[in-house]
Amino acid sequence: MSWFTKTLTSSIGRKLMMALTGLFLITFLIIHASGNLQLLANDGGKAFNLYTKFMTTSPIIKTVSYILYTSIIVHVIWAILLTRLNVSARPQKYEYDKLGQSSTWASRSMMLLGTIILIFLVIHMKTFWFVYKFGEIGMVTYDGVEYKDLYTVVVNAFKNPLYTGFYVVSMVFLAFHLAHGFWSGFQTLGLNHKKYTPLIKTVGLIIAIVIPVVFAIQPVYVLLFA
Amino acid sequence: MNLTLKVWRQKDANSKGKIETYPVTDISSDMSFLEMLDVLNEQLLEKGEDPVAFDHDCREGICGMCSLFINGRPHGPQNATTTCQLHMRKFKDGDTIFIEPWRAKAFPVVKDLVVDRTAFDNIIQAGGYISVSTGNARDANETPIPKEIADQAMDAASCIGCGACVAACKNASAMLFVSAKVSQLALLPQGKPEKQKRVEAMVAQMDKEGFGACTNTGACEAECPKEISITNIARMNREYFSAKLSSNNT
């Protein structure tokens, strides 16, 4: 093994991969959550459909999206590798365990939270991304140009209370995942400093609340008002 | 005070252990936890039974030899305290107390409550030292060190290597221990010449011993009897990345 692969397969190297991909995925969440607010524009979906077309055709966005897919896959695979290592490090459990008070539930449950988010992601991609790329989708015309009408697909999905309920619950799990993940990513990168760590922790909590709330507003709004 | 003890009994490394229940009576609240176990062992010896094996040495909280997972926490219910410095006044008459060994693949049980912590020694042997030529002692203030750096190094050096961090971590990770040992030397001028080699070798040895990886839960810091901070783990990670990028060790 070269020094490079040795580094990335060490315990700290695996954590580095988790931190880098995780923090990159958070920047994606911020863009995705804010961009999709155009669903609420109340213009019959024009702004959203124009935005969708831009996001699927811009060469820059397309390039970034490949990095994004890679990051998700790496984040998931490395999480499985690390969890297997971590579980194997304690083959015999304690009979009586009160360690719950020494750390937060979110920090101990990242794999569980991540698994639920992954399930959500697969369903989410199937409902929207797959239909947009490969499914049967209606067309709309704005100013003489044809666009795929993803807006109608989204509204129809969100009008199903079960789908929206699942969406909102998934966002709660995302909130807990981010509440630990954001700060933890910086700690793993070695960025722990008296001046900045309190700020990182505060920003992490704000992100953990704001991103899932902004996401959840969209299906709830559609369900109740659209 | 009268207590019910639920103690992990295991004949040897290859046997399957189980929890045994022992009542103990007339325990003074002034006794340390280990003295209470001494009383239990005297009772067992009088009955001709095998006494409970547990690790201890200095009994003044500085050697790192005592361990014990007491009522679900390493070193018991009192924060920043080793088991030998835990006193029975922290318990109530009639309490049931669970006593188990550290649980980690890298710390196999030798007998009853005694675990083999050789894995820590191997990590120290891999690089937790400074290579110096012997000779006369150097002049005390020959190498100036700022007070706050000396304090940080001393805080890291207060790690007694008991393994409570491993016992507390849900992943049985040794990163708090290793990071304290890396930090105490990396912070000081005497430790700097070998810092790249040291962190690479110690982390490699830590991985080899079968400890888990850190998920930044902070349980180690909360349970450490010497209150070692997880800022040391961040420092170790920085040292590790910079060593991997720039050392000559391919």
In a domain, A101, yes or no: no
Tell if the CB–CB gap between B105 and A94 is shorter than 8 Å: no
Domain that holds residue A128: 11-87+111-225
List all residues of chain B from 28 to 67 with a beta carbon under 8 Å from chain A: none
For residue A221, being part of any structural domain is answered with: yes
Does some domain include residue A163?
yes
As for how many domains chain A has, the answer is 1
A–B CB contacts, 8 A cutoff, strictly below: 138
Query: Is A115 a domain residue?
Result: yes
Q: Phi-psi region for residue B172, left (φ > 0), alpha (ψ -120 to 50) or beta?
A: left
pLDDT one digit per residue (tens) for chain A, 226 residues: 789 999 999 999 999 999 999 999 999 999 999 999 999 998 999 999 999 999 999 999 999 999 999 999 999 999 999 999 999 999 999 999 999 999 999 999 999 999 999 999 999 999 999 999 999 999 999 999 999 999 999 999 999 999 999 999 999 999 999 999 999 999 999 999 999 999 999 999 999 999 999 999 999 999 998 7
Residue A140 phi/psi, 5-degree rounding, is -130, 155
Distance CA B81, CA B163 (A): 13
Nearest Cα residue to A24 out of A65, A55, A60: A65
Q: Tell me if A49 is assigned to some domain.
A: yes
**ipTM for this prediction:** 0.95
Nearest CA in chain A to B204: A10
Question: A103 in the Ramachandran plot: left (φ > 0), alpha (ψ -120 to 50) or beta?
Answer: beta
Residue among A13, A85, A96 minimizing CB distance to B71: A96
Q: How far is B117 from chain A (nearest CA, A)?
A: 14
Q: Is residue A99 part of a domain?
A: no
- CB contact at 8 A, A85 and A77: no
Q: Classify residue B46 as exposed, middle or buried by CB count within 10 Å of its CB (0-12, 13-18, 19+).
A: exposed
Determine, for residues A190 and B250 on separate chains, whether the beta-carbon distance falls below 8 Å: no
- Tell me if B35 sits within 8 A of B89, measured CB to CB: no
pTM of the model: 0.96
Whether residue A16 lies inside any domain: the answer is yes
Min Cα separation A105/chain B (Å): 9
Beta-carbon separation of B230 and A102 below 8 A: no
Residues of B in contact with A7 (CB under 8 A): 244
**Which domains, and CATH codes, for chain B?**
3-110 (3.10.20.30), 118-246 (1.10.1060.10)
Chain B's closest residue to A101, CA to CA, is B219
Q: What is the DSSP string of A80-129?
A: HHHHHHHHHT-SS--SS--GGGGS-HHHH-HHHHHHHHHHHHHHHIIIII
Element of type H or E holding B22: strand B18-24
Contacts of A107 in chain B (CB under 8 A): 215-218
B202-246 tens-digit pLDDT: 999 999 999 999 999 999 999 999 999 999 999 999 999 999 999
Tokens 């709330």 correspond to: A213
